[in-house]
Structure 1
């Protein structure tokens, strides 16, 4: 079962299966991504973040819930892969500007 997501967020998750450049394309030029205690600013840093994550981990990601919280779109995803623990639910906090993602924070 798939859940309805705003187009830029749906595109982000679809691109996640492709490559780092495809993921970065869905962000604004000055977007910010926070993940694993690190902050990545701008498309080049976001592309490098995604490339590094793809080198370190193989995983599948399935969005399972969507909500709005404090002006952000929160997508809860189930991940299964070769990372420590092997399985986890993560919350992705998105702020969208027009048809691009301006902010993403990923936390358990």
Structure 2
């Protein structure tokens, strides 16, 4: 199925909860959005399992300071959606648009791939 643009308010609640917690650097709430066997791929690195994802979240929260603005949302089906965020901060390059591709299972995030 082809992804269709949606209003951000129509994103699955768990995705919205994760995005808000991640932006607020609230690791306990963010990690609660993931399945125990979740996988995150970010910046060419893959983190498998909730403990590894939690370490990634903690590192992300402390490594750079940046702002995030949600600029687009799409949904392929009930279990797959993509969010595009515009980031500006003190990371290399200072500005980037990233696509957050979510795969859900049992109402939680089972996989998250982050890439330009």
TM-score, normalized by the shorter chain, greater than 0.5: yes
Gaps of 5+ in 2: 1-6
In structure 1, C-alpha distance between the alignment counterparts of 2:64 and 2:26, rounded to whole Å: 13
Within 2, Cα distance between the matches of 1:11 and 1:49?
Answer: 18
TM-score w.r.t. length of structure 1: 0.90
Alignment partner of 1:9 out of 5, 15, 21 = 15
CA RMSD in angstroms comes to 1.7
Q: TM-score of the superposition, structure 2-length normalised?
A: 0.84
Count of residues in Structure 1 that have an aligned counterpart in Structure 2: 107
Deviation at 1:101, TM superposition (A): 0.4
Q: Offset of 1:69 from its aligned partner?
A: 4.5
Supply the distance in 1 between the matched residues of 2:48 and 2:86 (Cα, whole angstroms): 25
Which 4+ stretches in 1 moved above 6 angstroms?
A: none
- Per the alignment, residue 38 of structure 2 pairs with 31
Give 1:21 shift.
2.3
Report the Cα distance in structure 2 between the residues aligned to 1:72 and 1:10, rounded to whole angstroms.
Answer: 13
